[in-house]
Amino acid sequence: MVRYRLTIAYDGTDFCGWQKQEPPDPDALVEPGGERPRLILRTVQHVVEQAVREIVREPVLLQGASRADAGVHVLGQVACFTCSGDGDPDARHGGWPLDRGTERLRKALNGRLPDDVLVTLVEPVALEFDPIADCVSKGYSYTIHDAIERCLWDRRYVQQIWQPLDHEAMHDAARVLVGEHDFASFAAAGHGRQTTVRTIHACDVSRPEPNRVRLDVSGNGFLYNMVRIIAG
């Protein structure tokens, strides 16, 4: 067996988040009464997993490092799958042995993925590699357009605020969050985590260009909606 790590970028506009949300059984594909089929939500995990399965011809499961919400755009989602490799009896019929090359696998995946998803890197990793447990840091960026004239061309990627913001005051406030703290007050209700203690490695607010304020946050993990609440 061989395990591969994918680095994935995607535009989240038309996705219902990362996590696959398929019905648990075939009967669930039809709504009660059998009147019409139940919709399967379009998620990044489902789309990429289907592409991987087409290539390796095995029922692989794709595991991601982070469950981004609907509408979130991602530059570096890490995900892994395991398939037949060198020396496996099934490698003649499926799988992806290492000698076929990771760049060839990356191109094959991108050839099957829609325009709003791109695999930027494929790497072989140890079979015990876990993208969640072995993750050491995650980062989020929020861009705010603070102007009376609304944004047009990149409106999908920025938040519109109609009044000017004091980015220096915001930066000073953001620095207080750096370190290990109990972020219970920054978590949405029903987050379901056993502990609300998290470590923020960096939290910076800058103005990279006129009418643009950017918040960059990195840490060892985040609670549900934690970064959105920080940005607010």
120 and 142 fall within a common domain: no
What is the domain extent for residue 208?
A: 138-231
- The DSSP output letter for 150 is P
pLDDT confidence band for 7 (50 / 70 / 90): very high
98 and 168 fall within a common domain: no
Q: Which amino acid, residue 53?
A: R
Decide if 62 contacts 46 (C-beta within 8 A): no
Which of 102, 125, 148 is where one domain is finished?
Answer: 125
Residue among 81, 5, 11, 4 nearest 44 (CA): 11
Q: 3: burial class by Cβ within 10 Å (0-12, 13-18, 19+)? A: middle
- Is 45 a domain residue? yes
Residue 51 has what pLDDT?
97
Catalytic (active site) residue 69 = yes
150 has a pLDDT exceeding 80: yes
| Residue that has been written with the tokens 């915001």 in this structure | 170
Which of 61, 94, 125 is where one domain is finished?
Answer: 125
- Is 133 a domain residue? no
pLDDT confidence band for 9 (50 / 70 / 90): very high
Query: Alpha-carbon distance 200 to 41, whole Å?
Result: 32
As a whole number, the mean pLDDT across the chain is 89
Residues 6+ apart with CB under 8 A from 210: none
Q: 202: burial class by Cβ within 10 Å (0-12, 13-18, 19+)? A: middle
Residue among 49, 38, 40, 43 nearest 67 (CA): 43
92 has a pLDDT exceeding 70: no
Catalytic residue among 69, 88, 116, 204: 69
Decide if 22 contacts 54 (C-beta within 8 A): no
- Is 157 a domain residue? yes
51 and 80 fall within a common domain: yes
Query: Alpha-carbon distance 8 to 74, whole Å?
Result: 8
| Integer CA distances (angstroms), 167 to 52, 130, 170, 186, 229, in order | 43, 38, 5, 20, 17
Radius of gyration of the chain (CA): 21
pLDDT, one tens digit per residue, over 194-229 is 888 999 999 999 999 999 999 999 999 888 888 889
Which of 58, 92, 125 is where one domain is finished?
Answer: 125
